[in-house]
Amino acid sequence: MTASATLASERGRAMQTFHFTLNGAATAVEALPDDMLVDVLREVLKIKSVKTGCGPQRECGACVAYIDGTPRVTCAVRIAQVEGRKILTLEGVSDNERRLYADAFQAAAGLQCGFCTPGLVLRIKWLTDQGQTLSRADIARALDGHLCRCTGYVKIIDAVELIQAAKAGGALPAVIEDGGVGQRLKRYQGSELALGVRPFVADIDVPGMLYGALVLSPHARARVVRIDTAKALAVPGVIAVATARDVPGNRWVGQIYPDWPCFVAEGEEVRYVGDVVAAVAAETPRIAREAGRLVEVDYEVLTPVLDPLEAIKPGAPRVNPVHENLLSVTRYARGDVDAALAGSAHVVTGTWKTQRIEHLFLEPEAALAVPLPDGRLHLYSQSQGIFEDRRQVASVLGEPEANLFIELVPNGGGFGGKEDMTVQAQTAVLARLTGRAVRIVLNREESIRMHPKRHPLTMTYTVGCDVDGRLTGARIDMIGDSGAYASVGGKVLERAAGHACGPYRMPVLAIEGIAAYTNNVPCGAMRGFGANQTSFAIEGCLDMLAAKVGIDGWEMRWRNIVHVGDMFSTGQILEKSVGIEQTLLAVKGAYDSARAQGRAVGIACGIKNSGIGNGAIETGKCRLVVQTDGSIELHTGFTEMGQGLLTILTQCAVETTGLPARLFRPQVNSRFELGSGQTTGSRASLLAGPSVVDAAQKLKADLDSGLGLKDLAGRVYAGEHRIDDTTAPGETKNGKIKTHTTFGFATQVVVLNEAGVVERVIAAHDVGRALNPQQCEAQIQGAVHMGLGYALTEELPCKDGMPVTFKLREIGVLRAQHMPAVEVILVEDPEPEGPFGAKGVGEIGLVPTAGAVAGALEAFDGIRRMRLPMKESPAARAINLGRIPDADRDQWH
Ligand code: FES
Ligand code: FES
């Protein structure tokens, strides 16, 4: 096999021919000696099971291939280094073995988005080929070179144990091929994901496709004086360089306010280090990036606004042209707080600070725009709301939305970080400019610079209780750094304020939440948005009050949790599906016995809205389309991002129609007008589930009338579910406050070992109904992993507006060996408005975790920690990850 490199620049450097064996076949490839093996494999040889998650950091493991029989990260190997060697990728593994790995991962539910999985599979092949039976701890250590942001590794290690047993002659448990609600149905496209066969956007190639690269601002605040693209345009292989001048429509995008230019024009300010000033389209990715470095931009550097408290002072430089620096203020108040606190037996007060963190979905952002013969543009997106993408991209292009056919390629993790647009508009502009297909894929540094993060919050709490520990009142003030653009920052602070008292009865309260613009990287949606931060603070208050009252943490919470009929902080009376009591009871045995054994134990409860609520009209829409072959397309407008939505929706259809799961083919594209907004706020199952049921009931009625699927070929069954009865903060509807449709509830217990290291997490969650218990459990395990990182190690400080690191180890995401045992207890208190009683589970999993860790640490060493991450704690010090020195961060954080 001979292949010509399409990577190499033609600027005077001679390409060479390299020879090696690839998956058993003699292979010759022309490339530059310093081309990375991962790029040659992916872009020249079209081997797509190797993924690029961090290259060339060698820290995620997604790009693993065997070189001479040993797994190696191919982003750290130059093509010249493999001359004469043997390379094996998953494509070269025997069919029987591939089936074993795919089935084991399916049976164990060891994959979610699947972006990390092919790399892991090759590592696991090597591990399990050594003929030893490894313990769970050994396996975890052996997986240290791999990152998974979705699973928490628990079920990956389960899969490794299954593979070990199978290679020793045992049988795998059966993969569940069919099933309705409540069954452990296998993940839709799970085998294809495990083996790297199902493409992500960056894996899709189109004949004649160009590769795009972006030019980002190096400054947090500066005026763009001049942009000169001449040198970049002169590079052979460069087809176009786009700037603001090339945008035919409206450059300004944004989910709530159109305050974010997809290109910053000459004469305007750049407002953060992810602002785009130019985009290059070229024949190869390498040429595009090299040419991008030749775009000359003159900046007049301005002093950035980096502190949200300074930003909202009179006279502060205005960050954003569309909105003043005070982005939003949310207030909730009832009763006389001063009197309530003055009359309390005990009062605690303090300021809690949480940090900015990175989503670190394993798949960096990518988009592919392909001009169609009929003049439309086919945009492949991996975002959390393709109809929102279509609306905004059409506006940028100055074209009607009908000119865009948009298709979701289920993504490699989102967690809120793929709600805002990153590369979609620039990709579309380049495709229109050149008339050719264009694909842009961000590298890890660009990804970290561009997309919004979790808000750092400073929260001052004063909370009282009576002699028995019953809460009497709270005064809570908080401010969050929303960065340079609005994103959904105001909504995050709205949720933070609404959830500020946790799942506790608070008879009297005064809460104020402020979001402010700065020139830092924007902050927006991230799993749990706002609830995680305030949970850390309110749980700290409860622990401090419990100590004053002289009762334990469990009892303190038991005396204060909400029940049906109680009022939530927003004024909403909770009318149904309030399972917090059952979750507390579920952990009591573990909590008491660990304490009796002398262990340091922490406990925290959590609440998280399911559905956006707060007055938003929300819809879920579905179309079931019967095909001539008897299969049924299941169309939804929400995004599959590893959470298992498409599997769950299939189960809803199976449950309703009685048809087998294999008949349903879920899809997300703009063939139908199913726009439902972003996949956010733990709402996709809540809204899409009933819409599938609605459509499926219509199909079932036809089937029950005696018609078969062949008779129904071509029929389209429409389903819709609408929520329009929630109220905005401070408003009522029909005399009632209902800020949210429903809530998830949880109690988590954290147990430390003798050294103060987290040994065990017990997570009891009220999920309403577990539509797929295995996936539900997996979601919570993955969320606990994220919550432990949030508590102990994860941070992304900025200095002068620039993240101080892009290294995955320094960002602090936990590896498999850092994970304690995680025991999930599913509680089902049915939600009448949810599908089959279910409510969202995507976010609540990490809401209580940091609070429980802080409580356990205080039980261990007597120190009440009020700042995240708790990196100086014994639990964090035991984790061998990189560390960011204090000197490398701005003071506010
Ligand atoms: S280790 Fe190679 S892409 Fe991450
Ligand atoms: S399943 Fe591992 S990163 Fe998503």
Report d(CA 42, CA 66) in Å as an integer. Answer: 15
Query: For the chain, what is the mean pLDDT?
Result: 96
Which of 567, 539, 570, 533 shows the shortest CA–CA distance to 553?
539
H/E stretch holding 127: helix 117-129
Which of 187, 169, 167 shows the shortest CA–CA distance to 124?
167
Report d(CA 609, CA 729) in Å as an integer. Answer: 14
Cβ(459) to ligand 1 under 6 A? no
On the question of pLDDT at 12 being above 80, the answer is: no
Report d(CA 522, CA 761) in Å as an integer. Answer: 32
pLDDT in tens, 362-407: 999 999 999 999 999 999 999 999 999 999 999 999 999 999 999 9
pLDDT of residue 762: 98
Tokens found for residue 725: 């009865």
Determine the residue type at 382.
Q
Degrees to nearest 5, angle at CA 680 with 675 and 684: 65
Strand partners, 460: 351, 477
Measured in Å, residue 105 CA sits from the centre of ligand 2 at 12
State the pLDDT confidence band at 7, using cuts at 50, 70 and 90.
Answer: very low
For a pLDDT cut of 90, what percent of the chain falls above it?
A: 94
Cβ(143) to ligand 1 under 6 A? no
On the question of pLDDT at 151 being above 50, the answer is: yes
Nearest CA to ligand 2 atom 4: 113
Nearest CA to ligand 2 atom 3: 148
Helices within 400-549 (DSSP H only): 424-434, 444-450, 489-498, 531-549
Q: Which residues of 657-693 are buried (b: 16+ CB within 10 A; e: fewer)?
A: bebebebbebebbbebebbbbbbbbbbbbbbbbbbbb
Tokens found for residue 75: 């982003």
Cβ(60) to ligand 1 under 6 A? yes
Q: Dmax over Cα atoms in the chain, in whole Å? A: 83
Determine the residue type at 193.
L
Measured in Å, residue 364 CA sits from the centre of ligand 1 at 12
pLDDT of residue 59: 95
Tokens found for residue 130: 């050594």
Task: Provide the 8-state DSSP code for 317.
Answer: P
Measured in Å, residue 62 CA sits from the centre of ligand 1 at 5
On the question of pLDDT at 703 being above 60, the answer is: yes
Q: Are strands 509-517 and 86-88 parallel, antiparallel or unpaired?
A: unpaired
For ligand 1, mutation pick of 39, 47, 58, 360 (most atoms within 8 Å of CB): 58
State the pLDDT confidence band at 6, using cuts at 50, 70 and 90.
Answer: very low
pLDDT of residue 884: 84
Cβ(337) to ligand 1 under 6 A? no
For ligand 1, mutation pick of 37, 39, 57, 808 (most atoms within 8 Å of CB): 57
pLDDT in tens, 786-841: 999 999 999 999 999 999 999 999 999 999 999 999 999 999 999 999 999 999 99
Q: Reduce the DSSP state of residue 459 to 3 states and report it.
A: strand
Report d(CA 656, CA 659) in Å as an integer. Answer: 8
Q: Contact 785/527 with Cβ under 8 angstroms?
A: no
Report d(CA 568, CA 574) in Å as an integer. Answer: 7
State the pLDDT confidence band at 576, using cuts at 50, 70 and 90.
Answer: very high
pLDDT in tens, 720-734: 999 999 999 889 998
Measured in Å, residue 314 CA sits from the centre of ligand 2 at 45
State the pLDDT confidence band at 892, using cuts at 50, 70 and 90.
Answer: low
Tokens found for residue 568: 């939530």
Which of 162, 167, 105 shows the shortest CA–CA distance to 132?
167
Which of 882, 446, 389, 436 shows the shortest CA–CA distance to 670?
389
State the pLDDT confidence band at 141, using cuts at 50, 70 and 90.
Answer: very high
pLDDT of residue 890: 67
Which-ligand-closest: CA of 775?
A: 2
Tokens found for residue 539: 């749980």
**418 CB-side CA count, 13 A:** 30
H/E stretch holding 29: strand 25-31
For ligand 2, mutation pick of 51, 148, 444 (most atoms within 8 Å of CB): 148
On the question of pLDDT at 10 being above 70, the answer is: no
pLDDT of residue 321: 93
Degrees to nearest 5, angle at CA 225 with 224 and 227: 80
What is the reported pTM? 0.96
For a pLDDT cut of 70, what percent of the chain falls above it?
A: 98
Measured in Å, residue 645 CA sits from the centre of ligand 2 at 15
pLDDT of residue 891: 58
pLDDT of residue 885: 77
End-to-end CA distance of the chain: 55
Q: Under the phi-then-psi rule, with left for phi > 0, alpha for psi from -120 to 50, and beta for the rest, what region is 525?
A: beta
Q: Would you call the peptide bond into 56 cis, given omega within 30 degrees of 0 as the criterion?
A: yes
Q: Are strands 238-242 and 16-22 parallel, antiparallel or unpaired?
A: unpaired
Which atom of ligand 2 is closest in space to residue 361's alpha carbon? 3
pLDDT of residue 590: 98
Nearest CA to ligand 1 atom 1: 58
On the question of pLDDT at 122 being above 50, the answer is: yes
Which of 465, 479, 528 shows the shortest CA–CA distance to 351?
479
Within 6 A (CB) of ligand 2 lie 111-117, 148-151, 362, 413, 642
Cβ(867) to ligand 1 under 6 A? no
Average pLDDT over residues 176-196: 97
Measured in Å, residue 150 CA sits from the centre of ligand 2 at 5
On the question of pLDDT at 735 being above 80, the answer is: yes
Which of 586, 595, 649 shows the shortest CA–CA distance to 825?
586
Task: Provide the 8-state DSSP code for 43.
Answer: I
pLDDT in tens, 407-442: 999 999 999 999 999 999 999 999 999 999 999 999
Cβ(457) to ligand 1 under 6 A? no
Q: Contact 222/277 with Cβ under 8 angstroms?
A: no
Measured in Å, residue 34 CA sits from the centre of ligand 1 at 16
Report d(CA 722, CA 724) in Å as an integer. Answer: 6
Cβ(61) to ligand 1 under 6 A? yes
The contacts of residue 881 (CB under 8 Å, 6+ apart) are 793, 809, 810, 812, 814, 815, 818
Q: Contact 853/875 with Cβ under 8 angstroms?
A: yes
Report d(CA 316, CA 312) in Å as an integer. Answer: 7
For ligand 1, mutation pick of 42, 48, 60 (most atoms within 8 Å of CB): 60
On the question of pLDDT at 596 being above 50, the answer is: yes
Least trusted range by pLDDT, from 5-14, 131-140, 180-189, 744-753: 5-14
Report d(CA 660, CA 179) in Å as an integer. Answer: 7
Q: Reduce the DSSP state of residue 661 to 3 states and report it.
A: helix
> Could you give the C-alpha distances from 546 to 427, 465, 582, in angstroms and in order?
55, 9, 21
On the question of pLDDT at 178 being above 70, the answer is: yes
Which of 183, 16, 228 shows the shortest CA–CA distance to 175?
183
**707 CB-side CA count, 13 A:** 15
Which-ligand-closest: CA of 54?
A: 1
On the question of pLDDT at 74 being above 50, the answer is: yes
For tokens 């019967």, the residue is: 626
Within 10 angstroms of residue 136's Cβ, the number of other Cβ atoms is 16
State the pLDDT confidence band at 14, using cuts at 50, 70 and 90.
Answer: confident
Tokens found for residue 314: 């009179």
Based on the number of CB atoms within 10 Å of its own CB, is 208 exposed (0-12), middle (13-18) or buried (19 or more)?
Answer: exposed
Nearest CA to ligand 2 atom 2: 148
Which atom of ligand 2 is closest in space to residue 363's alpha carbon? 3
For ligand 1, mutation pick of 48, 50, 54 (most atoms within 8 Å of CB): 54
Which-ligand-closest: CA of 117?
A: 2
Which of 687, 656, 670, 607 shows the shortest CA–CA distance to 847?
607
Degrees to nearest 5, angle at CA 546 with 545 and 548: 65
Report d(CA 586, CA 563) in Å as an integer. Answer: 16
Measured in Å, residue 60 CA sits from the centre of ligand 1 at 5
Within 10 angstroms of residue 233's Cβ, the number of other Cβ atoms is 15
- Give backbone dihedrals phi and psi of 809, rounded to 5 degrees, phi first: -70, -35
Average pLDDT over residues 152-176: 97
Strand partners, 238: 282
